[in-house]
Structure formats: C-alpha cells, structure tokens
Amino acid sequence: MEILKTDILVLGSGAAGLFFALKASRFADVLVVTKKKIAESNTYYAQGGIASVTLKEDSFERHVADTLEAGQGLCKREAVEIMVSEGPDRIRDLVNLGVRFSKTESGDSLALTREGGHSAPRIVHCRDVIGRELETALLDAVRANGRIAAREDCLAIDLVVDAGRRVLGCYALDRLSNRVVAVLARHTVLATGGAGKIYLYTSNPDVATGDGIAMAYRAGAEIANLEFVQFHPTCLYHSEAKSFLVSEALRGEGAILRNLDGETFMKRYDPRGELAPRDIVARAIDREMKKSGDKFVLLDITHKSGEWLKKRFPHVYENCLAFGIDISRQPIPVVPAAHYMCGGVRVDMDGRTDLEGLMAIGEVACTGVHGANRLASNSLLETLVLGERCAARLATEPRSAGVPADVDLVFPEVRDPRALETVILDHDWDLARRVMWDYVGIVRSVERLALARGRIRQILDTAERLYAEYGVSGDMVELRNIALVSSLVVASAIIRKESRGLHYVIDYPESDPAWRKDTLIKKEMESRREMP
C-alpha cells in the first residue's frame, strides 16, 4: 500500500489549487493531487474575466452594493467587503506572475469590460481566454517552484478522518496503476471546483463532478446553500458543441438577445435588459423558449465588425466559425446551461470548514459572498482572495502537530473493474443528470422536486451498493459523487420554501423574509431523519 506524506495536501489544480499552492509554498511543502492532467480544470475554460475595482469613478462601495443586490439578501456583507477590497492586490499578484491582461488602446492601463449586474466597467480580462492565460501562468510558476509537487491522474475517493473528526488527508485512486494511495497531511485543502456535471447540459468540463462537496459531506462537514445553482444564460446550441460557453462579455459589448421571431425581449423582464443579473436573464430565456416551444434563442453581435470580433473575442469567434456560424454576420443560437454552484462546503473567509484540518477554497466552498446569485466574474476574484487568506492563516498555525504518524488506514478496495458492466454505471449517470435537468432546473415546482427526490435516492442507493460490492473504479467514484451531490441539491431545494435568486419555485413565487438565511445540511441530519 502506498502512503504519501506532505505538509499540505491540495485536491484540485484549477486557479484555486494552484494559486493557494504558490502562496503556501512560502512556508510549507505542498502536494497537489489532481484527477486528470494538471491543466484540466474549470478555470481553463473561463472566458469572461475577474471583477476588480480599477477606475477612479468606480468604488469598493459600488462593487459591494452590486454584489449584494445580485445575491438577493443572502450575501454576507463582511465577506463581500473583504473580497472586494483585497481584489486589486490579487490582480497585482497575477500581473507579477506574468498574466497578460488586455490593455487599453494606449497600452498604459488594463482594459475593462462590463457584465450583467455591474454598475461600472470593472472586469479585467485577457481577450476572451482569461482561464487559459491564468492557468498557464500559474502552472509555469508551480513547475518552477521546488516546494510544490503534483500527482496527476489521481482521483480522490474519500477523506481520511480520525475518531476526533480531524481530517488527516485522503485516499485516492491512481488511475495509471489502478491502485489506491493514501496521502497524509497536516492540512487538507479542497480546491476541487464545481459540480456542473450533475446536469445534462452544462458549461463545465467533465472533471466537474462535485467530488469535494461529496467527500466533505461524507466526512461530516457542513454544506450550505446548494439549491443556488447558477445557469449561464448563453451556451452555444449546436448538436456537436459540447459545453461551449458564449461569454457574458458579449452582452457587455452590446450583444442583443432575440427570440426566433426576431423580437428583442429582455426589456420586458428587466429594465437593465441584457445586462440584468444572470438569474433574471436565464429565467427570461427559459420563459421565451417554453412559450414558443423553440429549442434556443439568438444572441446577436452583428453590429460589430469581423475584425473587431476577432481581436476581442478570438476564442468565441473561431469556435463558432468551426460550427459554421460567422458571428459577425449571423446571430448565435444559445441556451442556458448549468454553470456555477453558489453553495458548497461552508467556510469562513480564511477557508476553514467546521472539520479540523480541512479547508476549502474556490467553487467547492461557500463563503457567503455569492448569496442567492453570483455576480458575473466574482468567482475568480473570490478564489484568489480566499487562496491568499487561507495560506496566510495556515502560516500562523503551529507546526508541532506534524504530519499524522499512527493512523488506522482502511484502504477502499480496488477489484476487477470489468466485473461490473459499463452500461450499468453509464445508465445511472445519464439518468441522474436528466432528472436534475428536468426536475431541478431553472424553474422548479414542489411536484418536480418530490419526484426528483425519489429518483435520485434510488440512483444514490444503487451507487452505494455497487461501490460496496464491486469496489473502486474511476467511473464508480464519480457516479457516487454525482448521485450524492444531486441528492443534496434536491434536499436543499426542498428545504427552502420560497423563491430567491437562482432558486425559483412556481408554488412559492415570492421571497419570504423568514427565509433570509442559509440552508445548512450535514450528514448527521440523515441519522436523525431530518433530511427531506
């Protein structure tokens, strides 16, 4: 049995994991464990940018106010103030790391764009490929850093927890050798990203299976606000396009939404039109599609020249062209798709969970800054701010505890993966994602949520039984996580008996001041039968 030891174990290699690892390497040895190749993360595919107050005419107060308004009464003001006020320093960190942000024509300051819900231009960006640029710069710095090691193709299965509920590391499946390894660490940091793959249609890559939320829940950590799933209003609608986002920044540059009769419609739903917050735009598109029976709406940026579009949105331009759509001449067919989890493992603004030894940063975490609806481009900002703060916090912890030595390890068993027919896992994987899309989507109802609860429970029970009987395989680990996270999203959605932000239930269409609070769930509620 292989046992690795390190000061700090980081699970995940997107911006959260790598930025934190760089900061923590100032005082500790760090091991980054990642389930595929190191660059494969949600971060890599981000297009828009990072929200940060830059202009003299803008202010921290305005950015805070915009964030609170989008979050519909559920944001934690203090957390938002920390995120906003520390943003400019983190942008400077990235400039120092070599991130090549887009500049103004004169070349002497950062170019800014607007996105939905922002009252000022404040999104710093790298054309439309912030994720690729950021991930590449972080990876270059990580590779040059002697205190950071990385293990690729290594899928975390579960956390190692002692009898006192202290997290001591994790068990992981080395996909290349098909063996389970244990990694023991003084601190374990979840940076595993989101869970878009619990839905049939998502802007997220295949790695986003909610592993961090699932492992933390099974270990007994508190999970918050999972009903607030953000659907990005505009993903490309094309039979061969898998998960291709059409950045909100296009609307920031004047792109207009139309239905298939050619009518603009956003002003009917919100005076801010195309730049209303995402929950409103996604719901408006959903409504238009349901009314007409059409399968998509159109995003029109043909008022911009081909030359301008190639420079500002090279990635969107090229990708759409590859699917036969010249965006300088034709509107783009778009649909909403699952994009971001506003809830997650509950943490404070230093990334601490309620389990000793366990931290969480980035999309897997819920700090309270996003409330009931995340403001565009606040996610990378939160990730960077939390990464710095979590590292600073761990730097102050005494080293006396050391890496755990005498731990009773119970390795999950690996059996012959061929013993279980692939079709069984594939079927339940598809089914779970279809149930979530049809019953727990942009618009919900009490009846659909009740149906989802029954169906998802069956899938989860089957996944747990198969896991116990057939042992660990990559697909099994992910199916078990998808089923569990789906069940937690459904449970959270059933608990909240109102509509707020991203959680819209036709049976309770209004917000209720009594529900101006977080939805908290924990494994011990299951044994007390408090889980819906």
Q: Helix, strand, or coil here: 448? A: helix
What is the tally of helices (H) and strands (E) in the chain? 15, 18
Nearer to ligand SIN, 135 or 248 (CB): 248
CB-based contact 296:241 (threshold 8 Å): no
Window of 83-91, 132-140, 285-293, 374-382 that interacts with ligand SIN by CB under 6 A: 374-382
The pattern of x and - marking residues 239 through 278 that bind ligand SIN according to CB under 6 A reads: --------xxx-----------------------------
CB of 128 to ligand SIN, least distance (A): 7
Other beta carbons within 10 Å of 254: 13
The nearest distance, CB 252 to ligand SIN, in angstroms, is 9
Residue 281 makes contact with ligand SIN by CB under 6 A: no
Tokens of residue 418, six digits: 């061929």
- Residue 249 C-beta: closest distance to ligand SIN, Å: 6
Q: How many CB atoms lie within 10 A of CB 488?
A: 25
Q: How far from the centroid of its chain's Cα atoms is residue 123's Cα?
A: 19
Task: State which residue, 246 or 485, has the beta carbon closest to ligand SIN.
Answer: 246
Residue the block writes with tokens 């989101």: 194
Distance CA 425, CA 413 (A): 18
CB of 379 to ligand SIN, least distance (A): 5
Calpha distance 530→532 (Å, rounded): 6
Q: In this structure, what token pair is assigned to residue 32?
A: 């980054």
In the window 157-216, what residues touch ligand SIN (CB under 6 A)? none
As a whole number of angstroms, the distance between CA 248 and CA 68 comes to 19
Q: Which of 303, 256, 260 has its CA nearest to residue 281? A: 256
Which of residues 48 and 362 has its CB atom nearest to ligand SIN in the complex?
48
How far apart are alpha carbons 332 and 325 in whole angstroms?
Answer: 7
From residue 173, give the alpha-carbon distance in Å to each of 4, 180, 206.
Answer: 13, 4, 17
| Polymer length of the chain | 532
Nearer to ligand SIN, 161 or 341 (CB): 341
Piece of the chain touching ligand SIN by CB under 6 A; list 168-176, 235-243, 375-383, 397-405: 375-383
Instruction: Judge residue 180's burial from the number of C-beta atoms within 10 Å of its C-beta, 0-12 exposed, 13-18 middle, 19 or more buried.
Output: buried
Can residue 369 be called a binding residue for ligand SIN (CB under 6 A)? no
CB of 37 to ligand SIN, least distance (A): 23
Q: How far is CA 460 from CA 9, 229, 477, in A?
A: 28, 20, 12
Is position 377 an interface residue for ligand SIN (rule: CB under 6 A)?
A: yes
Q: Least distance from C-beta 183 to ligand SIN, angstroms?
A: 31
| Subset of residues 29 to 58 that bind ligand SIN, contact rule: CB under 6 A | 47-48
Residue nearest to ligand SIN (CB): 48
CB 312 to ligand SIN: min, Å: 13
Contact flags string 320-359 toward ligand SIN, x per CB under 6 A: --------------------x-------------------
* Closer to ligand SIN by Cβ: residue 167 or 386: 386
Considering beta carbons, is residue 117 or 212 the nearer one to ligand SIN? 117
Question: Residue 214 or residue 246: which is nearer to ligand SIN going by CB?
Answer: 246
Spatial CB neighbours of 332, under 8 Å, sequence gap ≥ 6: 234, 236, 246, 298, 299, 300, 301, 320, 325
Q: Which residue from 70, 325, 360, 376 is in contact with ligand SIN, where contact means CB under 6 A?
A: 376
Closest contact distance (angstroms) between CB of 374 and ligand SIN is 7
Contact 532, 453 (CB under 8 A): yes
Residue among 90, 278, 389, 453 flagged as catalytic:
278
Position 379 contacts ligand SIN (CB under 6 A): yes
- Active site (annotated) includes residue 278: yes
Catalytic machinery residues? 278
Q: Which residues bind ligand SIN (CB under 6 A)?
A: 47-48, 247-249, 340, 376-377, 379
